[in-house]
Amino acid sequence: MEHNLFVLVDLLGTFAFAVSGALAAEQRRLDLFGVLAISYLTACGGGVIRDLCLGALPPVGISDWRYLATSALAAGLAIWARPIIDHLKHPIVFFDSLGLGFFAVIGAHKALQFGHNVEVAILLGMVTAVGGGVVRDVVLNRVPIILEKEIYAIAALVGAAIQVLGQLMDWKFALTPWFGALTCFGLRALAVRYSWSLPVVRGRDVAQ
């Protein structure tokens, strides 16, 4: 039952990130193959990086057909339902934030399953959450969100930390991942709504 729960959370994160990738690709006016490719890279990029770090080979995003199918389904729905999705104020940010929360808890959970310590679990939770978005933005020639001043990676770290804390303290396993994902999503949504950001490092002006 526990395994099925985390597979579900992982596939939900895959779906959310795939939609954000498809929407971003559509904005760049890519063809159908381009939309499907960006959707898949966004959905599975972070998980592939995580599995390579853990030595879980081949990565589940490549070896399990459900991830490719979920990505393709999400891309198709994003194209078909674009008029409905456009009613959202910031659709890419919304689905990206959903995926961020789901993947943060999944990455942390899997690292703990492989016997790693708290620090590794939290960091790999963050890497899983932000990796796909970085791949998407680099391929589409955009500045990755993680490099901007928005609250993004911090939200993923919080979600991953909640998952790790819950597992170490034997919280009810059926509730912990949802709580971690919801907290991450909520923090990210509030940061976008109220323009929360980290301080910007400003160097001295150099005279020319």
208 within some domain: no
Model confidence pLDDT, tens digit, residues 109-163: 999 999 999 999 999 999 999 999 999 999 999 988 888 777 899 999 999 999 9
pLDDT for residue 2: 65
202 within some domain: no
Provide the percentage of residues in the chain whose pLDDT is more than 70: 95
121 within some domain: yes
pLDDT for residue 207: 47
185 within some domain: yes
CA proximity to 130, closest of 94, 88, 102: 102
In the block, which residue shows the tokens 């995926």? 99
Q: How many domains does the chain have?
A: 1
Report the half-sphere exposure of 63 (CA within 13 A, side-chain side). 9
Kindly report the number of other CB atoms within 10 A of residue 153's CB atom.
18
24 within some domain: yes
pLDDT, average across residues 47-67: 96
pLDDT, average across residues 175-196: 93
Kindly report the number of other CB atoms within 10 A of residue 70's CB atom.
23
